[in-house]
A and B are shown apart, each in its own frame.
Chain A
């Protein structure tokens, strides 16, 4: 059926998102932030100088300027922290569960009171946009404390008839992509179940964990229950290898995860690992395409793509591939990349120079492999570590950019024809942390979720986190779950 004639479509239609109506700059005020020049180790309830006497710089990745110096803990410092935790364990594990819950609730409330400060420091230290640290990282971190506080005196209901007991000292090592949130994920369930903690934040983003130490101190939490030691790989190794640590919880790269697993082999330390990912985000032809595109954007560009569950492999059904890619390109044009402290910013700075170089290396690899590069036309600041939102079209399953975790704003796009094909390809990867499915058909969702070998599968949404929902991986993405009832299990014995 045809209708009346109309103007001939121009050969190349396009939308122009550059307008003379620009948004007003809205940098978040940083004047109210009190930062020390130098941060010590938080051991036994006090900030103490490191045995090593060494300090390292933490840098604002958006300005490349040094923010503060942070203590570099050595084996002796770690030993001191573990001893403090061991000493505190005797009392903390016997503290009535209801009392433990009170402390955790108090920590949550203090975090909420200082939410703005936490958000600003998180953005300064890590480069993520203030929109995300303010709306996601900080509130979610507080919610993890609230949620686990509730479990503290209900463990007998969490594990009926099993008499759950704490393990002892938990050594926890967290990554730089969600510094405060990961600290909350780790500390909250450990405290709720009666364990004590030695936590090491990542060396590029230690500041919010140290601010959290202030909150822990202000909450009146007994000395030594949580100890925070800063440093790089050596400090982490000292925690993992310490003979008096009962449990190791690690979030970070798969390589380091493997090292940890090797080094604690033969000991009776319990271990949970939350490692890398290379998630498939699958768009079927019957999906709500505009919302799916939004989900692709959030899936890969959230937190500059520094997300272990980032939807970094896009599978689009061939019948809608052209339209989805066009929509994706248009949407990328309206993303604002720049000063993370500005409330308008959608995509902030890459966390470190090292990471930026790694991403750039992968972009080079992708080009050499023959995938078609597309980057949004946005301007990026001259100073600081920034990367344009990037697509690789016509990627193949055997490309390195498809197989390896890039941990940056780089999306590899593949097309598929049948459901069997996409299931096979999505699972054909050493990782298995998360996946996304977009379709209007409920039965398709259930069919796919049962066949995806991934810890989390989102349907018609992406990157949704909640303290009540367990999170964790398959295969090289690690084992053990964090969050929800399942998140308590790694911290108890029966």
Chain B
């Protein structure tokens, strides 16, 4: 059974009031999460992490080490989940895929001339196909921010739709680089375009531009996901990426998901953190909850 979805006019997407968003966000940070609630939240956080390395200096060796860490975050304490995925450049997908054989950890690959997206459609499609052929389970594409800011929404839409097609079975995450979109109204508009064009996830940032993920931006995107779900019945995932480096901040994001979208989104199928240093801070908190004292960062592996 299927129905046709009517596309909205992307010039008239719902508006957002920044002051109101910031007030709402402040409320999420005041919920009490401690003891059992904290432990549960921390483990949930770990299971939602896309452990990421996206550097020019990445090598197979570096990626292999990170993949081992992804599956064995901190074997000293039993019962720690593995992360959701590792996120690498297309050339590293094969290495990561091999290294993660036998685990449930997904391999995500950035594509479409990440991080700037300044390339031709053809190259972007090939970039995506290359990653998928090498075994990527998930594709993190960037939108063409220049075209978006020019008002060329059809271009952005078509590009996402074509990349989605190139993804085949791989899930598509669409990165807006919200730090370059400048207004929350633009974030909302980009969210609508991406979801209607077929995004499985919408994602804030590449991690290469500051500001990266912020709570206000994420809330705007979660609200867009909610409205889209009510319109179409399709769930879309959310991935804030970059800038979330503390366990406390991560828990605030989970509160925001819980109170905006409800329990259905509180799993790594629908919510991810794109982060490289978050895992260790969460592990430190878990160790503290387990042993009652903080340990030095030297007790946690840096891969």
Contacts and interface: CB of A to CB of B under 8 A. Distances in A.
B51 to A, nearest CB: 22
B32 A17 contact: no
A141 B47 CA distance: 45
A461 B3 CA distance: 39
Interface in B163-205: 196-198
Interface in B1-46: 1-7, 14-17, 19-21, 23-24, 30-38, 40-41, 44
Contacts of B24: 291, 294
Main secondary structure of the interface of A (DSSP, over half): loop
A7 interface: yes
B161 to A, nearest CB: 8
Contacts of B263: 16-21
Interface in B193-230: 196-198, 223, 226-227, 229-230
B121 interface: no
Interface string A1-34: 1111111111001011111111111100000000
A222 B1 CA distance: 81
Interface stretch (B70-78, B99-107, B253-261, B275-283): B253-261
Contact of A19 (B21, B33, B258): B258
Contacts of B40: 21
A288 B15 contact: yes
A7 B233 contact: yes
How large, as a class, is the contact surface on chain B? Answer: 35 or more
B32 A344 contact: yes
Given A7-B233, A8-B233, A18-B263, A1 B7 contact: yes
B56 to A, nearest CB: 37
B146 interface: no
A67 to B, nearest CB: 25
A8 B1 contact: yes
Centre residue among B15, B226, B227 by max chain A CB count within 10 A: B15
A459 to B, nearest CB: 10
B266 interface: yes
B149 interface: no
A154 to B, nearest CB: 31
Interface of B: 1-7, 14-17, 19-21, 23-24, 30-38, 40-41, 44, 161, 196-198, 223, 226-227, 229-234, 254-255, 258-259, 261-264, 266
Given A6-B3, A13-B233, A286-B15, 5 more contacts: A6-B5, A19-B258, A23-B37, A287-B15, A291-B20
Interface of A: 1-10, 13, 15-26, 131, 286-292, 294-295, 323, 326, 330, 334, 342-344, 440, 460-461
